[in-house]
Amino acid sequence: MSILNKFRGNKSKTLKIIIVGTGKVGSTIAGKLTEEGCDVTVVDKNREVVEKLAETYDIMGVVGNGSSYGTLIEAGVESADLIIAVTDSDELNLLCCTLAKKVGDCTAVARVRDPDYSDELAYLRDKLGISIIINPELEAAREISRILHFPLAISVNSFAKGSAELIRFKIPADNYLDGMRLSSFQNNKDFNILICVVERGDMIAIPNGNFELRSGDIISFIATPRDAFAFFKKINVETRDVNSAMIIGGGKTSFYLARILSSAGMQVKIIELNPARCEELSTLLPDDVVIVNGNGTDETLLSQEDLASAGALIPLTGIDEENVLLSLYGMKVSPGIKAITKVNHINFSSVINELELGSVVYPRRMTAETIIKYVRAKKKSLGSDIITLYNLSNDRVEAIEFNVHDELKHTSKPLKELKLKSDLLVACIYRDGKAFIPGGNDALQPGDAVTVVTTRKGLSSIEEIFE
């Protein structure tokens, strides 16, 4: 093993983080945490990848086995604040974290993807002392299932323990909202939602009352699920239920998604090329899930399996290009179909967004969001934990849910009397099991969970939203 000294200098006030595994997820996390100002060390047996990351992000790299005591010592585990294990092996990730906990005083995050462990995650966290166990495929499946509840949405992010949703939606041509000022919208008592973000071409805004909506705008609004359905109905946008889904590819995400959708009463069909995997899925999944052995990119097979009548097409192969082309093909064959595309590489997300693919899910981004949320909370006191964090609009907007702790001096004062930072919106408050959109006369209270939407990056605690 060898060490690559690309360390950026003395940063005694920042978190020291070790990332074991430099695949797609590890590389993404390294970049994100460097942007967060952390001191990052990457560990992997692949010298070429380690050297590239060390050079790209000006960080330290160690070439070696991340489950080796000597390698972890060389990486600085004894003084590390956090270790993140995201190799391709669940068992290796768990071993890395367990060893690091024994050797150093760091907290540990492990990626565990195998469905065999999915019902044991709480046990593993408790017995092994691991702070977070991440399953990107399961989280991607959950996001896809949320989108299918709102087929018109581009994306759906959940807050307030599922009591509120931040929904991204494109205003159709000649819609009721075209030309409406936001002040008129907000004064309309029929709309119990809050528009938080508007995207128009390359422009993005946290809008004020003078902002005028247009057809083609992509808006992100927050609402309870019931109020979101009512909003779509009142603006004469058809909200239809998706009763059937065709999934292309039989990987881990497909397994988790089929299990979720089947339990919700949806008809699910999976097309998978590998016969052995088909046999495995037919054993693991409920009997009402149809497993088809075949090439999901074959137009004849898709026609035979009646793609045109499917409510949703969800390409979940391991190849981004196939997923993109399948979604485009599905929307051509069946214009009313709901397409949801999984994309692993996020480098070209701006180009992908221009392809009108319907909804796009990025599992790597979800994993990075989970870790950044934890890192920011760890920088602050225990009372200012971040509950939830989402990156929106190609990472130009963050939606963050904070705990309100007893020490916050701004509680019990009406929001209209507080000086909030610009480009920031208090979008939702969750209190006593209910979520609501706050008005100027509402006040924060200890114990609340508060959702903030902002174009500012790097907020770590609720205190930072005030001037």
Write out pLDDT tens, residues 143-189: 999 999 888 898 999 999 999 999 999 999 889 899 999 888 777 77
Q: Which of 7-16, 94-103, 293-302 has the lowest mean pLDDT?
A: 7-16
71 or 364, which is more confident? Answer: 71
Statement: residue 410 has pLDDT above 80: yes
Q: What is the pLDDT of residues 75-93, one digit of tens each?
A: 999 999 999 999 999 999 9
| The domain made up of 366-465 is a member of CATH 2.60.40.4070 | no
The pLDDT of residue 5: 45
The pLDDT of residue 455: 93
Is there a contact between 404 and 384 (Cβ–Cβ < 8 Å)? no
Statement: residue 375 has pLDDT above 90: no
Superfamily of the domain at 2-134: NAD(P)-binding Rossmann-like Domain (3.40.50.720)
3 state DSSP class of 339: strand
3 state DSSP class of 78: helix
Rounded to two decimals, the pTM is: 0.85
Q: Which of 61-70, 148-157, 308-317 has the lowest mean pLDDT?
A: 148-157
Helix (H) or strand (E) holding 166: strand 164-170
Statement: residue 316 has pLDDT above 90: yes
27 or 407, which is more confident? Answer: 27
Statement: residue 272 has pLDDT above 50: yes
CATH of region 244-357: 3.40.50.720
SS3 per-residue string spanning 127-140 = HHCCCEEECHHHHH
Mean pLDDT, the chain, rounded, equals 89
For the residues 400-426, what does the mean pLDDT come to?
90
In Å, how far are 179, 194, 297, 307 from 300, measured between CA atoms? 45, 45, 9, 10
Domain with CATH 3.40.50.720 in the chain: 2-134, 244-357
Domain with CATH 3.30.70.1450 in the chain: 152-234, 366-465
Superfamily of the domain at 152-234: Regulator of K+ conductance, C-terminal domain (3.30.70.1450)
Is there a contact between 114 and 88 (Cβ–Cβ < 8 Å)? no
460 or 246, which is more confident? Answer: 246
Q: What is the pLDDT of residues 378-396, one digit of tens each?
A: 766 444 478 888 888 878 8
In Å, how far are 67, 89, 104, 115, 256 from 121, measured between CA atoms? 20, 16, 23, 10, 15
For the residues 284-290, what does the mean pLDDT come to?
96
Tokens describing residue 413: 């004062």
Statement: residue 11 has pLDDT above 50: no
Is there a contact between 36 and 62 (Cβ–Cβ < 8 Å)? no
